[in-house]
Amino acid sequence: MANTITRSFVTAALSGQLNRRQILERGLALGVSTPLIAALMKRTPASAAPAPQSQRWRSGLQFEDNGTLNVIISSGTNDIDPHSTYSTMGSAIALGSYEMLVRYQGDSTEVVKPFLAESFEANEDNTLFTFTLPENVLFHDGTVCDAQAVKDSMIRFRRLEMGPYIVLQRFVDDPESQIEVVDARTVTFSMTRPQPLFLAAMASSYGPFVVSPAAWAENATEDDPWAHEFISFNAVGTGPYRLVENITTELVRFEKFDEYHRGWEGPHFSEVVMRVVNENSTRRQLLEEGTSDAITSLLTGEDVQALSENPNLTTMIYPTTRVNWAILNAVRLGVDARRGLSYAFPYDEVIEGSYSGMLERSGPIPSTVRGADPDVFLYPTDLDRAAELLTAGGFPAGSSFDMLVVSETVEDTITAQLFQASLAQIGIDLSITEIDLATYEEIIFGDAPAEEKETILGSWEWWPDYNDAHNQLAPNFLESAIGGGGSNGGAWVNERFEEIMAEAEVFENEDQLLELMKEAQQILTELDPPAIYYGETLMYTILQNDIQGFVPNPLYLESYFFYDMYRVSE
């Protein structure tokens, strides 16, 4: 097996499918000798880049069935409607069956390439964007995906007004008039002002998917005109794989869609199974046995270290745009109490004990995202100051708090226990409740009032839909993000923050944005914290050595483009 993988790597390098950076990274991961890596890099132009999968295999090859790709996940989700879900798993499942018009290229957070669209272009001042579709694109229900279907799908996305609709609404608030069907294969989006971030937003894996209009029309009711209930559990897109089984607590299963518009030349998986595995020890065992092919996150640092030394596995560690935090219930906790809890949090212990060092302190905007303040206020662990502020906030020694965490995520449980021990030092009791991810997301995104929620919701993380600080903050901290699919689970409201965000949404230059975001981050951290920010994370994906084609992207975290992936034959 190892020799086969090495030959495949050398062939890819010599044929120009890999650039120098990829040769270095993949060669080291595969254990290729340093002299060979150096020789391959020397023979490869610096500008060389891997040919797209769709081009690599268009050489007369027949479809090569790679069987089943088995992916480990921590939980399913009760909402896979791409126009409403704002969950990690909802997005990951959507990417199996749906397509956006464009997607980010490789590991870039700046460059986009065609996905459903065959081509796209913007006019000089970024007020008109034109997308051309391939011929004969079909949805999984057999209906045609044309320009009208794209427009209808974007109308549904905007008018459903759930979860990620702000991704589109920021640029296209009136899709009926701003989107024009030029002909069956051409659709345009007109802006009311220059929008240089529009293409970036359309590459987001949160929202701008094209959903079959026939599917929701057939299943619509008077109370549910967009058939949200049906689309929440059934996927009808144009993507390479068709959803055939969706059992929230067990698995999600896809089968190859024979009529996929990009074709099936060369090696591809005919089936993809995303299997729910709750136990950390079982996850590790499945990878070691070779029963499972891929996992992203979901292991302890100790396990990651051990598996990275396994010669049958490839461990990829990469930067992210994600920040981890605990949501503080602003209805039940005043500003003094929230600041006090922020001082009581054991940041260093959590970084080392929960995340094995794969976390770096930050505020709510990660350093990898436009608008981050390098001098943002970061709370130290100061138990004296914590006790003072908690007492002022109505929680003296002898008081108690409750904290909710996700049971499937080991880091969250360890973090809660470390926080519990820290608070105990100043006479504060913290009770911890573990629930499954799907239920936890219902609590965050649902309409239940904050008065009915725990004081600390301790399992949350976020990264932007595209490279923009406003987009990172809006879904989590605006008043409009309380309930209805938004993730302002603590019902936090700050009037000055609302004003800043309104300005930042229509910023005219980079300097203006940076000034606005600097003030916003001061409010969110030092002055009126709605959350305890742990820091920004590094992420890892572990693959069997024979799995190729996975390219991590800082904005598509915990997701896979299954069509690009394949298994190296023995």
Rounded to whole angstroms, the Cα distance separating 488 from 403 reads 16
The pLDDT confidence band at residue 433, using thresholds 50, 70 and 90, is: very high
Residue 560 confidence (pLDDT): 97
Q: Is the pLDDT of residue 14 over 80?
A: no
Residue 434 confidence (pLDDT): 96
Residue 570 confidence (pLDDT): 62
pLDDT averaged over every residue in the chain: 90
| Closest by Cα among 237, 264, 263 to 149 | 237
The most confident of the ranges 139-153, 308-322, 354-368, 506-520 is 139-153
Q: Is the pLDDT of residue 319 over 90?
A: no
- Average pLDDT, stretch 417-431? 98
Q: Is 292:286 a contact under the CB 8 Å cutoff? A: yes
Q: Is 112:198 a contact under the CB 8 Å cutoff? A: no
Task: Give the angle 343-345-347 at the CA atoms, nearest 5°.
Answer: 110
Helix (DSSP H) and strand (DSSP E) numbers for the chain: 21, 21
Residue 204 confidence (pLDDT): 95
- Where do the H-state alpha helices sit in 203-273? 213-219, 228-231
Q: Is the pTM of this model over 0.85?
A: no
Integer CA distances (angstroms), 256 to 68, 244, 270, in order: 10, 10, 5
Q: Which residue has the higher pLDDT, 208 or 74?
A: 208
Backbone angles phi, psi at 200, to 5 degrees: -60, -40
Residue 370 confidence (pLDDT): 84
- Average pLDDT, stretch 162-188? 95
Residue 129 confidence (pLDDT): 98
Residue 7 confidence (pLDDT): 46
- Average pLDDT, stretch 515-533? 97
199-220 residue pLDDT tens: 999 999 999 999 999 999 999 9
Residue 66 confidence (pLDDT): 96
The pLDDT confidence band at residue 110, using thresholds 50, 70 and 90, is: confident
Structure tokens at 352: 């080392």
Q: Looking at the DSSP assignment, which residues form a beta bridge with residue 121? A: 130
- Average pLDDT, stretch 240-264? 96
Among the ranges given (312-321, 386-395, 521-530), the one the predictor scored with the smallest mean pLDDT: 312-321
Q: Which residue has the higher pLDDT, 42 or 237?
A: 237
Rounded to whole angstroms, the Cα distance separating 112 from 180 reads 22
Residue 381 confidence (pLDDT): 98
Structure tokens at 390: 């908690």
Rounded to whole angstroms, the Cα distance separating 273 from 300 reads 23
Residue 31 confidence (pLDDT): 57
Structure tokens at 291: 């029963």
Q: Which residue spans within 329-414 are E strands per DSSP?
A: 359-360, 400-406
| Closest by Cα among 414, 423, 417 to 342 | 423
Q: Looking at the DSSP assignment, which residues form a beta bridge with residue 114? A: 102
Q: Is the pLDDT of residue 166 over 60?
A: yes
Residue 48 confidence (pLDDT): 38
The most confident of the ranges 157-166, 231-240, 294-303, 353-362 is 231-240
Residue 380 confidence (pLDDT): 98
Residue 531 confidence (pLDDT): 98
Among the ranges given (7-21, 179-193, 250-264, 527-541), the one the predictor scored with the smallest mean pLDDT: 7-21
Task: Give the angle 411-414-419 at the CA atoms, nearest 5°.
Answer: 120
Q: Is 320:541 a contact under the CB 8 Å cutoff? A: no
The pLDDT confidence band at residue 24, using thresholds 50, 70 and 90, is: low
The pLDDT confidence band at residue 25, using thresholds 50, 70 and 90, is: low
Structure tokens at 481: 């993000």
Rounded to whole angstroms, the Cα distance separating 54 from 61 reads 12
Rounded to whole angstroms, the Cα distance separating 70 from 273 reads 5
Residue 30 confidence (pLDDT): 58
Rounded to whole angstroms, the Cα distance separating 411 from 176 reads 45
Instruction: Please name the residues in contact with 38: beta carbons below 8 A apart, sequence gap of 6 or more.
Output: none
Backbone angles phi, psi at 183, to 5 degrees: -155, -175
The pLDDT confidence band at residue 437, using thresholds 50, 70 and 90, is: confident
- Average pLDDT, stretch 462-472? 91
- Average pLDDT, stretch 119-142? 96
- Average pLDDT, stretch 240-258? 96
Residue 46 confidence (pLDDT): 42
29-65 residue pLDDT tens: 555 554 455 555 555 544 333 333 333 333 457 999 9
- Average pLDDT, stretch 101-129? 95
Q: Is the pLDDT of residue 101 over 90?
A: yes
